Amino acid sequence: MNKARKAVSERLKDIDVVIEMLDARLPASSANPMLAYMAKGKPRLMLLNKQDLADPNATQQWLEWYRAKKDTQALGMDAGERSPAQKLINACRELAPLRGGLDKPLRVLICGIPNVGKSTLINSMSSRKIAKTGNTPGITKNEQRIILQDDFELFDTPGMLWPKIEVPEGGYNLAASGAVGRNAMDEEEVALELLKYLLQHYTAELGARYKLDKLDGQQDWQALEMIGKKRGAMLPGGKINLQKAAELVLTDFRDGQIGRITLERPDEWLCWEKQAKEQAAIRAAEREAKLQQENKKSGRN
């Protein structure tokens, strides 16, 4: 990831527009704060990919949210969309109207977290397969240059995460989507957080997928047990295999089998972000107080 960060930072010096590819099911969680800092001052196109898996009403909220920002455009897209190139080219040209022509070609950088569908999109925009694709995060290893038009150059970079996830809900959402490896977070814990949100916002879809009744008032762990029992995820002695049940729930979410689900709205994200900053401030104050206490004990000023 450090190598990818350096490559992006170097390439940004010559870039006119930055496209950041987001997961439409978790737009803010999948937005890289490190990229926002590095690309400050550059026109940006926020591309909400996998919109066919996301709640359309929530997607519209996010599109309006990003379009309200300065020098920013936003589009919804499916990675498998046919002929998406012109759609992106037009949006980028609107963001950089003074660039164009062979003497000053429009140079665009496309970035995104691992496994967000960037390589699939790039392949669909080109006449030949140029970007490797797969379900393993970080499969694109090196920068690639794609000529979409004579005066339009697209630079692809490896998927890039950031060192520390500040908003806990964002971390769970990234893990639920498969953007981080299976070993990064406990799958049962991730599934429980996912079920907690689904019970609040998508009870009907959850019940329909697993043929469950009376979900109202149920806790996340109760729902996971019900799903495990319903799907035959059992251990010897009649115990429920919660790990297997968690895997079932996460796989179904990632494949869109539960329904068109979005795990965050702009107002929710602002609330989570505020809480995370407050908690960070409390931890910083506690560390400072502990340091002062240690200095006092050791006789230092």
* Contact status, residue 261 vs residue 253, Cβ threshold 8 Å: yes
Please tell me the distance from the alpha carbon of residue 200 to that of residue 261, in angstroms, as a whole number: 12
Q: Which residues have C-beta within 8 Å of that of residue 293, sequence separation ≥ 6?
A: none
φ/ψ of residue 17, rounded to 5: -140, 140
Please tell me the distance from the alpha carbon of residue 178 to that of residue 185, in angstroms, as a whole number: 11
Q: Which residues is 240 bridged to in the sheet?
A: 234
Please tell me the distance from the alpha carbon of residue 276 to that of residue 221, in angstroms, as a whole number: 25
* Contact status, residue 80 vs residue 120, Cβ threshold 8 Å: yes
Kindly report the number of other CB atoms within 10 A of residue 13's CB atom: 6
Domain shared by 73 and 137, yes or no? yes
pLDDT, position 134 = 41
Please tell me the distance from the alpha carbon of residue 114 to that of residue 117, in angstroms, as a whole number: 8
Domain shared by 100 and 201, yes or no? no
Domain shared by 55 and 118, yes or no? yes
pLDDT, position 300 = 56
Sheet holding 44-49, edge to edge: 72-77, 44-49, 17-23, 106-112, 152-156, 144-149
Tokens of 127: 């006449």
Domain shared by 129 and 212, yes or no? no
CATH of the domain at 221: 1.10.1580.10
Q: Is residue 172 part of a domain?
A: no
Which amino acid is it at 270? L
What are the average pLDDT values for consecutive 10-residue runs of the chain, which has 301 residues?
Answer: 72 91 96 87 94 96 96 86 81 93 91 84 65 42 77 84 87 92 84 97 96 91 96 93 96 96 98 94 89 78 51
Please tell me the distance from the alpha carbon of residue 202 to that of residue 215, in angstroms, as a whole number: 11
Kindly report the number of other CB atoms within 10 A of residue 116's CB atom: 26
Please tell me the distance from the alpha carbon of residue 141 to that of residue 114, in angstroms, as a whole number: 11
Q: Is residue 269 part of a domain?
A: no
Question: Which structural domain, as residue segments, surrounds residue 79?
Answer: 2-156
Domain shared by 109 and 47, yes or no? yes
Tokens of 206: 């959850």
pLDDT, position 8 = 79
Q: Is residue 126 part of a domain?
A: yes
CATH of the domain at 119: 3.40.50.300
Please tell me the distance from the alpha carbon of residue 126 to that of residue 77, in angstroms, as a whole number: 16
* Contact status, residue 158 vs residue 141, Cβ threshold 8 Å: yes
**CB burial class (10 A; 0-12, 13-18, 19+) of residue 105?**
middle
Domain shared by 140 and 9, yes or no? yes
Place of tokens 């004579």: 150
Q: Is residue 22 part of a domain?
A: yes
Query: Domain boundary at 254, 274, 291, which?
Result: 254
pLDDT, position 54 = 97
Number of domains in the chain: 2
Q: Is residue 301 part of a domain?
A: no
Domain shared by 190 and 240, yes or no? yes
Alpha-carbon distance values, 127 to 67, 83, 116, 253 (Å): 31, 10, 21, 31
Q: Is residue 246 part of a domain?
A: yes
